[in-house]
Amino acid sequence: MIRIGGANPTLTAMIALGVLNHIVLTGNRVTVSLEALRLGASTAVVGVLLALYALLPMVCAVAAGRLSDRIGVRRPMLVGSIALAAGSALPALVPGFTALFISAAVIGAAFMLFQVPTQNATGELGKPADRAHNFSQLALGYSISGFLGPLVAGLTIDHGGFTVAFAVLAVLPLVPVVVLAANWLALPGPHPARKEGHAGSPLELIRHKTLRRVFIVNVLLAMGWDLHTIVIPVYGATIGLSASQIGFILASFGAATFVVRFSMRWIARRFTEQRVLTIALFVAAIVYLLFPFSHSAPTLMALSFSLGLGLGMSQPMVMSLLHSHAPPGRMGEAAGVRMSLVQTMSVCVPLAFGALGATIGLTPVFWSVGVCLATGGWLTKRAV
């Protein structure tokens, strides 16, 4: 593979495509949430809407991973990009609750179909010694889109309305569609160990001691990550913040993940994976315990930034561990199992949040999650 200035040009281009598609996901979640609230939806309905982003990925992620192992990564990534454009365009063309529900389900499935092969390819592009750095670069790219998505959505809603916001998001995936359809990138093809079909079961990966522990830790971290995306629009609307303010709060989280991932080489040289994951869980726990005491945009931005610093350092370590311990030819499947478990949480957390938030309020939800994450941090000292 040709390298320019120490960087893999194929990896760099693939990450750029991922940034565009991830902006659609993060921006769509904010836009759908705020549009539903504008139409009079309750907290429980918003929870159901956001759970739909994870429903199909929860069911189909393992199959998507196997597919990328068997046929290569380009075609699944192309189909995912096309579906992202279609899913975001629907609410712009057909306003109303039905379109919001369909859009949430399609966007979630489409990004899963793009992301799982991308994670598979990231581990294959370069030498084994490059994996931690490559996954850090991928995570760094998603930090940029995690910052831009909510910001673009919030500003576009305030200055152009919801229809314009959905339309803008629908245009972005067209760039990946063109690049992938033209086959301009030298992406990995089928893995030799999987050309003859599948051997083994996803349960084998879960029974693998190290992989199982990594899966458990990642589920805890994902809970902290997903709840932030879910709760900030609802909590911000409750205390009277504007769409732009909510967008800036969510963008501060993305900015923090960018900052910490930019420093991942320095962090990886000084801390073990176990230490990094433990710190991430404890930082997330503290932030959630403090959220109910915050009633202004600047305070929420500071807490979101702190949460982003903690959680942002975890994903590169998790993905590097997965790729190092996955059986040959089954990295896509391992990434699919990870995503399936994470998306299971992404279905359960919004539903639980919606139900609990509508009955007992948001403060007990914040504190319960904080205690859960702190317990996970304590257990991780010996679990990873």
CA dihedral 304, 223, 345, 371 (to 10 degrees): -130
Check residue 226 and report its DSSP letter: H
Q: What is the pLDDT of residue 78?
A: 97
CA angle 312, 231, 80 (to 5 degrees): 65
Which residues form the domain of 301? 9-183+202-383
Question: Cβ distance 324 to 128 under 8 Å?
Answer: yes
Distance, CA of 157 to CA of 166 (rounded, Å): 9
Average of per-residue pLDDT across 66-78: 90
pTM over 0.95: no
Question: Assign residue 367 a region: left if phi > 0, alpha if psi is -120 to 50, beta otherwise?
Answer: alpha
pLDDT digits (tens, 9 = 90+) for 313-357: 887 788 877 877 777 777 778 888 888 887 787 777 767 766 666
Task: Round to the nearest angstrom and report the end-to-end CA distance of the chain.
Answer: 33
Where residue 111 falls among pLDDT bands split at 50, 70, 90?
Answer: very high
The verdict on residue 57 lying in a domain is yes
Distance, CA of 252 to CA of 256 (rounded, Å): 6
Q: Which two tokens stand for residue 176?
A: 């990946």
Residue 212 has a CB neighbour count (10 Å cut-off) of 13
The verdict on residue 1 lying in a domain is no
The verdict on residue 195 lying in a domain is no
The verdict on residue 230 lying in a domain is yes
The verdict on residue 194 lying in a domain is no
Question: Cβ distance 124 to 335 under 8 Å?
Answer: no
Q: In a 3-state reduction of DSSP, which class is residue 6? A: coil
Q: What is the pLDDT of residue 12?
A: 93
The one-letter amino acid code at 174 reads L
The verdict on residue 196 lying in a domain is no
pLDDT digits (tens, 9 = 90+) for 192-243: 655 554 456 777 788 787 788 788 888 888 888 878 877 888 888 888 888 8
Give the Å distances, CA to CA, from 135 to 120, 201, 316, 376. Answer: 10, 26, 5, 24
Give the Å distances, CA to CA, from 40 to 34, 157, 227, 287, 355. Answer: 10, 17, 21, 30, 17
Q: What is the pLDDT of residue 110?
A: 97
Where residue 153 falls among pLDDT bands split at 50, 70, 90?
Answer: very high
Residue 358 has pLDDT above 70, yes or no: no
The verdict on residue 288 lying in a domain is yes
Task: Indicate the number of domains in the chain.
Answer: 1
Report the CATH number at residue 110. 1.20.1250.20
The verdict on residue 192 lying in a domain is no
Where residue 283 falls among pLDDT bands split at 50, 70, 90?
Answer: very high
**Residue 219 burial class via C-beta count within 10 angstroms: exposed 0-12, middle 13-18, buried 19 and up:** middle
Q: Closest Cα partner for 65 from 331, 343, 263, 252?
A: 331
